Structure 1
Amino acid sequence: MRSPDELDSVQWDALDHAYGSAEDVPELIRALYGDDEEAASEAVHELFGSIHHQGTVYEASGPAVPFLAHAVRHAPSHRTDLLMLLAVMADHDPSAAGSPPRLGADVAAVCTELCRVLPDLLPCLGDAEPSVRRAALRVVGAVADLLPAGSAAPTLVEGLYAADPVPAVRADAATVLALLGRETGALDHPLREVRLAVAVLEAERSGPPYRAELVAVVAADGAEPDPREDDLPWADGTVRGDRLAALLVRDADAALAVAARWIAAGDLGSCGSWLARDVAEAWRDREPEVVDLLIAALPHQPDPQTRSARLHVLADWIRHLPEPGAELRDTLHRYAAADDPSAEAALLALVHARDPRALDLLLDEASDRAPDHGPDRATDPAPGHPGSTLLSAAARSFPDAADRLVPAIRRALAAGADGNAAIALVGALERFGPAARQARPELTDCLRTGRAAIVAARLLGLLGERTEEITGLLQEAALSTDSALSGAAVAAHHRLTGEAGPALRTFERLLSGGGQTSWYLAHLQSLGAAAAPLLPVVERLLDGGDWTRLAAAEAHHRITGSPDRAVPVLAGLVGPSPVGLAALRALAAIGRAPEELRPALRGLAFSPLRLLSDSGLSATGHPDEELRALARTLLAAGFATEPAVTR
């Protein structure tokens, strides 16, 4: 250890941390010893953000270790925090360790210094405060693979495991003993916390599928979070609950069995319902079981906010059920019809369940609340209009209900919806095809006022209704300094008038100016063969970044009518990523794929695991579902015989 008197012997200004020069480190460490508790707390916070920042250590981190160790022993008001700082700074992959020189230089320096001062920190394992003992165990665990022979740490940890009065400390000691290569107790240990810790260790060692005995222990002992102890993270930032959930999700059958047991026990801390959700996010085709569990968890959620969160999760997964059952829909209807803050989330779930009663709740009650200003109430503001999320979902679930939904969407737009809400509402209108022409006044107003102007311009072009007002607004929007709006407007203007000249001039300018090239190419596609004069520009962009290549390939196919150049480019982008999904979508629209893509398509089509996560931004459902469906479509459509050579 090194005392604050030695701080000036280190040339801190020659070392760096997350924010540049480490010249402020001495001042922060000295603040730990002062009488100003607020300054000391702030110093701890600053050290967590500078010499250790989001999992990264720096040149100044290793030299700071002996000073932090001294502060743990001699400035004890922040012992737990400082021990945790030492532990997380030393986090490393033991398989890359062997000896510190095999680690990254900065991590190696931290580990070397921590091993050197560890004997001075071992008394913390006997501290009167349980949180200090637990933090000290994490320090030992962080360098367990690097400790020299003869270290006193293993013996002290064994003593905690055998006799500490706090179950959580004994459970932590079991984990550290495993890191030290020592055997711990069996799954029949008398303490629940220890049994659970041992179960986690055995699961980590064995991997899935987990033994029935192990799953039974987790199901019985993991349902109740320990209310007496705040869980401390380990050196890698994980806490017990996160580690356990991550392990369980690797075995879907085990996870669902455990989630069912936890939910039946009251779903304390929502552990069971969150575990069920995690299974649905990780595995394909488990939605029916997950939905059943989430429904079963609802009565255990008396708090409306928590219940609303569960209902939102239900809404996400119900739309993947081929035919939601009557009992499920009746349950959702009861929640949606209740006078309760969670009713809106329940209504969203009912909409996704495609239950016709959802339309009655969504629209009739809103109409009852809306003031009547005359015979044509559709264009009048209505403070009770449904939200954009509900209306967008209803447009997906009830595409044949244009007669009821289009007027509701018009009211919402007329009432002043803007931003993402207006974008969602215009997108919902597009689902109704020609019936959306009823909303021409609202769409032109969006274009005029700049609310969702890009999507409004596009939809006006798709609807094909040419008026002087619309073409004039599109011409005006084409001159906008917003390049995305300009491109959307000229493309829509071309759709309505057939005049290619203005569009060609605008796109030539946009494509030569950089910026959001993929956006401009996406709008250019609607010109089809009329964009042939821009083909040389499009061909150059086939060598751009991923999204640019994608859009250029699609545009090339639309302009030429030939897939020869587009298919190889698109095939090279296919994979479990957003751009890979878009490439699959484009190949499916063309209707062909190169033969060498077959193995990749089979992997995308038949993986039991989800390969794409849900960003929450998709308007069509979970992106992994679309990924699988498109891959299967292409497998069924046939393959090109020519090899795909990406240019």
Structure 2
Amino acid sequence: MRSPAELDDVRWSDLTHAYGSAEDVPELIRALYEDDEEAADEAVYELYGNIHHQGTIYQASAPAVPFLAHAALHAPRKHEDLLMLLAVLADHGPAFVESPHWPRSDVAAVCSELCAVLPALLPCLEDPERGVRRAALRMVATVADVLPDEPRALAVEQVEALYTDDPVPAVRADALIVLNRFGRTLEPLDSPLPEVRLAAAQLAAERSGPPYAPELVEIFAEDGTEPDPGDDDFPWSDTTTQERLTDLLTQDPDVGLTVAARWIGAGDFGSQGSWLAEGIAASWRDKEHEVLSLSLAALPHARDTAALRTRFRVIGHWIDLLPEPDADLRNALHRHAGAEDETAEPALLALTHSRDPRAVDLVLERPTARLLEAAAQRFPEAADRLIPVIRRELAAGATGNDGIALVRALDPFGAEARAAEPELIDCLRTRRAAIVAARRLGANGVSTPEITSLLHKATQSTDASLRASAAVAHHRLTGDPETALRTYELLLASKGQSHWYLSGLEPMGDAAAPLLARIEPLLEAGHDWTRKAAAEAHHWITGSPDRAVPVLADLAGPTPVGLSALKALATTGSSPDELHPALRSYVSSPKRLLTDTPFSGQGHPDEELRTVSRLLLTIG
């Protein structure tokens, strides 16, 4: 343990942290001792950002440990924060200790320093503040597997005392977990304390794995209803924190849904039942109906506007996957969509995703770019009502993502989208959503001198993506490939993400044949997305699958680029036999093989994986 007086004995300028030189660390550590609480808070915040940055530690982390340990004992009002900082600095997976990389790792150096000062920090386990005791327990837990025998014995003795006698149940639960980290397998499932029972059940479930025993499920459902109100958000492995418990229950979807229903029925404290249900939908296929039923039951328990908005956003994501959403859920969304507050838009978006026809009237009453795009995708038959509003919003000067969404909203309408030609021309002229406007103008098929002149001018833009889109659109309208070929020659000759440009070549077909000399070498590029785009473009140009199929088949799999490769394979009409076992597994897997954010509102890639895999099996 080292005092601030020794800070200058370390050559901090020779060490690095997340932002480069660690020469600022001494000043931050000295600030911890100041009477200025705001300055001390800022110092803690900065230390969490530089010597420990998003789970990563650095050269300067281990040398800081003895000084942080001293501050944890002597700096005013920062004991809990600094003990937790020591804990997260030393956090590591048990398997890493056996790795050949461990001895030379920064985390091994941190653990070594923490083990050296731990005996002096053990009195923190007796601190009158529960938060300090819990932070001290978490610090001890992080080095439980590397502590030398003597400090280990001292730590176990004090942790056992907390487990037996501490007046705060949450501290006893933490102590139980730490004892398990020390190899003491305790499972007091019959403890009179809910916090201890819950910790014991979680530890037992982690050891057994799913399916979980009924007695554990009952404890999860009953004792996990309302987490300890003094719990915190610090990361810490193998604890009863809600995130870890939710992850555990997600591994057994039937049990997880049962527990989520109990938690929601008990008031959905902290939205924990909702989050558990949604985690199951994100991890397991074909659970949307049950999850959305629980989401409907949870709506009355949302405690504020932010929570309600979140529920609607998530409902809007999963309801899109149901062929026929329940009337009760759609009616609830309709009621909220008519509200005069911040929850109305996400509720209306969810109602639109449910394909409820009442959504169109509401969207037209309060049009936003995102709502109009969603409505156009799901109600293309309402073109006569939606297109005038889309045109009006574009004419009003929509920019950025709003402009892009409004132009994309025209895509489902086919020839009827030509009515928006004046607004698209203005977008291209003023460079508002110009890339998608150029594509849309090309797809419209209407060639005028004004449009072709604007497209030709756009091929000289400094924006490479606009040059590519405008060049292909120019070819589609004029039939003259020269401008497009010249533009693409330059784009493909430059260094960069060439797959971004190749993906736009499909409309040119064999007119892009002069580009094959540039494209064929990319079939062997090191970047997966480039190989995929090159294979796809090669097929578009030649009409032959011979060169494309081997490349696409090699890339195919449950990854973003693998899914894109599978879609491209389907367009070739080829389905290699050697892919079929994998395709069958993609179709039959009960777990989701591709993840997605529940806030994207753009469907789910795992559903696309299953659909395209089924299609490829029929081709085979």
With the shorter chain as reference, the TM-score category is over 0.9
Alignment-mate amino acid for residue 312 of structure 1: R
8 Å contact from structure 1 (residues 141, 176) kept in 2: yes
Partner of 1:610: 592
8 Å contact from structure 1 (residues 388, 421) kept in 2: yes
Secondary structure, counterpart of 1:612 in structure 2: coil
Partner of 2:441: 460
Partner of 2:610: 628
Aligned with residue 566 of structure 1, among 537, 540, 548? 548
Q: How does 1:32-43 map to 2 (within 5 A)?
A: 32-43=32-43
CA distance in 2, matches of 1:295, 1:225: 22
Query: Is 1:241 the equivalent of 2:230?
Result: no
- In the TM superposition, what is the alpha-carbon distance from 1:178 to its structure 2 partner? 0.9
CA distance in 1, matches of 2:328, 2:3: 69
- In the TM superposition, what is the alpha-carbon distance from 1:388 to its structure 2 partner? 1.4
Partner of 1:378: none
- In the TM superposition, what is the alpha-carbon distance from 1:289 to its structure 2 partner? 0.3
Query: Is 1:255 the equivalent of 2:256?
Result: yes
Q: How does 1:522-537 map to 2 (within 5 A)?
A: 522-537=503-518
TM-score with structure 2 setting the length? 0.95
Q: 1:468 to 1:617 in 2, by over 3 A?
A: farther
8 Å contact from structure 1 (residues 507, 524) kept in 2: no
Secondary structure, counterpart of 1:602 in structure 2: helix
- In the TM superposition, what is the alpha-carbon distance from 1:233 to its structure 2 partner? 2.3
Secondary structure, counterpart of 1:80 in structure 2: helix
Partner of 1:315: 316
Partner of 2:137: 137
Q: How does 1:266-305 map to 2 (within 5 A)?
A: 266-301=267-302, 303-305=304-306
Q: Deviations over 1:244-268 (max 9, x none)?
A: 0111111111111111111111111
Q: 1:248 to 1:422 in 2, by over 3 A?
A: same
Alignment-mate amino acid for residue 446 of structure 2: E
Alignment-mate amino acid for residue 284 of structure 1: R
CA distance in 1, matches of 2:511, 2:130: 75
CA distance in 2, matches of 1:60, 1:556: 51
Partner of 2:219: 217
8 Å contact from structure 2 (residues 443, 476) kept in 1: yes
Partner of 1:342: 343
Partner of 2:393: 412
8 Å contact from structure 2 (residues 177, 239) kept in 1: no
Higher mean C-alpha displacement, 470-479 vs 493-502 = 470-479
Secondary structure, counterpart of 1:354 in structure 2: coil
8 Å contact from structure 2 (residues 199, 239) kept in 1: no
CA distance in 1, matches of 2:346, 2:457: 41
Query: Is 1:327 the equivalent of 2:309?
Result: no
Q: 1:41 to 1:336 in 2, by over 3 A?
A: closer
CA distance in 1, matches of 2:215, 2:487: 68
CA distance in 1, matches of 2:592, 2:356: 27
Q: How does 1:170-209 map to 2 (within 5 A)?
A: 170-209=172-211
Higher mean C-alpha displacement, 305-314 vs 1-10 = 1-10
Q: Deviations over 1:606-645 (max 9, x none)?
A: 221112222479675111111111111111111xxxxxxx
CA distance in 1, matches of 2:99, 2:535: 51
Alignment-mate amino acid for residue 493 of structure 1: H
Q: 1:303 to 1:459 in 2, by over 3 A?
A: same
CA distance in 2, matches of 1:123, 1:619: 52
Q: 1:311 to 1:620 in 2, by over 3 A?
A: closer
Secondary structure, counterpart of 2:149 in structure 1: coil
Partner of 2:265: 264
Alignment RMSD: 2.2
CA distance in 2, matches of 1:497, 1:35: 74
CA distance in 1, matches of 2:98, 2:495: 49
Higher mean C-alpha displacement, 290-299 vs 397-406 = 397-406
8 Å contact from structure 1 (residues 263, 297) kept in 2: yes
Partner of 1:442: 423
Q: 1:616 to 1:165 in 2, by over 3 A?
A: closer
Alignment-mate amino acid for residue 519 of structure 2: V
Secondary structure, counterpart of 1:273 in structure 2: helix
Partner of 1:362: 363
Q: 1:508 to 1:618 in 2, by over 3 A?
A: farther
Higher mean C-alpha displacement, 348-357 vs 54-63 = 54-63
Alignment-mate amino acid for residue 12 of structure 1: W
Partner of 1:127: 127
Alignment-mate amino acid for residue 317 of structure 1: W
Q: 1:472 to 1:17 in 2, by over 3 A?
A: closer
Query: Is 1:156 the equivalent of 2:137?
Result: no
Partner of 2:93: 93
Q: 1:74 to 1:506 in 2, by over 3 A?
A: closer
8 Å contact from structure 1 (residues 232, 239) kept in 2: no
Show structure 2 runs of 5+ residues with no match.
none
Q: Deviations over 1:66-97 (max 9, x none)?
A: 23222222334311111111111111221232
Alignment-mate amino acid for residue 413 of structure 1: L
Q: 1:65 to 1:45 in 2, by over 3 A?
A: same
Q: 1:65 to 1:156 in 2, by over 3 A?
A: same
Size of the alignment, in residue pairs?
A: 617
Q: Deviations over 1:337-387 (max 9, x none)?
A: 344432222221211111111112222xx2xxxxxxxxxxxxxxxxx5x01
8 Å contact from structure 1 (residues 98, 146) kept in 2: no
8 Å contact from structure 2 (residues 391, 420) kept in 1: yes
8 Å contact from structure 1 (residues 12, 22) kept in 2: yes
Show structure 1 runs of 5+ residues with no match.
367-383, 639-647
CA distance in 1, matches of 2:2, 2:464: 60
CA distance in 2, matches of 1:617, 1:488: 28
8 Å contact from structure 1 (residues 100, 108) kept in 2: no
Alignment-mate amino acid for residue 63 of structure 2: P
Identity %: 63
- In the TM superposition, what is the alpha-carbon distance from 1:130 to its structure 2 partner? 0.8
- In the TM superposition, what is the alpha-carbon distance from 1:162 to its structure 2 partner? 1.1
